[in-house]
Amino acid sequence: MKLGFIGLGVMGRPMALHMHEAGHELAVWARRPESIGDLPARVCATPAELGRCCEVVFTVITSSADVEGVALGKDGLCDGMAPGSVLVDCSTIAPDTARHVAARLAEKGIHMLDAPVSGGVQGAIDATLAIMAGGEAEVLERVRPLLDCLGKRIVHVGPNGAGQVAKACNQMIMVAAIEAAAEAMRLAAASGVDCAKVRQALAGGSAASRVLDVMGERMVRRDFAAGIEARLHHKDFGLVLEAARRSAVPVPLAAAVGQQLNALMAQGWGRDDTSSLLRILEKS
């Protein structure tokens, strides 16, 4: 199939490579052409040009504004994609933006799925991402064979925007768990107890979690090089808190965690791993 890919960062690049390995023909557009590197793909001058030659287009980019610009802006995908083609947006953006972009594309008969992913860079490389999809079920079924190249767990959550809501929920739970692990490690250390042993002991019990495994390990080793750059979680928490506000739903824990992330950004650790939340606790 002819596939388009926009966003060749740490997540997008391995995802695009999986598509290539599965025998699909790739077209790409990149704001920074140097990010294309040696990727075997046709290089397009604009998103519209890319849209014209592809049946399905994937976007994996950072912000709501970027997705809106690439999809609906001047020479955007909307200007090029044919009726019946599908935009699969794997970025993490605001649910409202996802709904808005989907509605605008629908006016031209273009389908859209919001399909944010969880699993990080390793999940993208191993093709074990969790994919949470919002949009029409038939459209998801059409592109499911493609998504199978990227991930193991693909769930149709609901209509457009529902995938982004699920991702927001994922981020709330995950980063709160990182903060909980950091606080536990800090308390253990301050009490003169070996963090590594505490983590090991907890791994078998009710507090066991993937976050405690992966991030807890990093905290014990004091290896704060990113895994997932904390600035992305910080960005996502902006989305979470804005969504909570729009729904007038109180999220006291997420709000508190968001402030720890703000402190992390203030320390200039945005490009480090989110396990750096431990280092924020050590500041006080």
Partner 1 sequence: MKIGFIGLGIMGRPMALNLIKGGHQVTVWARRTESMQPLLEAGATGAANPAEAARGNELVISMVADAPDVAEVMRGVASAGESGLVAVDMSTIAPAAARQIGADLAAAGIDFVDAPVSGGEVGAIAGTLSIMAGGSDAGFARAKPAFECMGKNIVHVGTSGAGQVTKAANQIVTGMGVLAVAEAFAFAAKNGVDAGKVREALLGGFAYSKILENHGQRMLDRNFKPGFKSWMHEKDLNIVMQTAHELGLCLPGSAATAQMFNAMVGSGLGEEDSIAVLKLLERLSGQA
Active site positions, annotated? 167
Give helix 195-202 / helix 210-221 axis angle, nearest 10°: 170
Residue 91 found at the interface with partner 1 (CB under 8 A): no
Q: Of residues 89, 182, 258, 273, which one binds partner 1 by CB under 8 A? A: 258
Does residue 245 touch partner 1 according to CB under 8 A?
A: yes
Q: Is 241 in the site for partner 1 (CB under 8 A)?
A: yes
Closest CA to 96 of 255, 239, 251: 239
Closest CA to 62 of 224, 238, 265: 238
- Whether residue 149 contacts residue 19, with contact meaning beta carbons closer than 8 Å, is answered with yes
Number of residues located near partner 1, criterion CB under 8 A: 22
**Which range, of 36-44, 67-75, 201-209, 251-259, touches partner 1 by CB under 8 A?**
251-259
CB closer to partner 1, 74 vs 283: 283
Contact 44, 77 (CB under 8 A): no
| CA proximity to 114, closest of 174, 169, 159 | 159
Closer to partner 1 by CB, 127 or 165: give it. 165
Which of 64, 91, 164, 260 is in the footprint of partner 1 by CB under 8 A? 260
Nearer residue to partner 1 within complex by CB, 103 or 253:
253
* CA distance linking residue 177 with residue 186, whole number of Å: 14
**222 makes contact with partner 1 (CB under 8 A):** no
d(CA 3, CA 118): 22
Which of the 8 DSSP states describes residue 7? -
- What does residue 57 show for φ and ψ, rounded to 5 degrees? -120, 130
94 binds partner 1, rule: CB under 8 A = no
Rg for the chain, CA atoms, rounded: 20
Q: How far is the CB of 258 from partner 1 (least distance, A)?
A: 6
The residue range among 22-30, 171-179, 211-219, 246-254 that interacts with partner 1, by the rule CB under 8 A, is 246-254
Interface contacts to partner 1, rule CB under 8 A: 234, 237-238, 241, 244-245, 247-252, 255-256, 258-260, 262-266
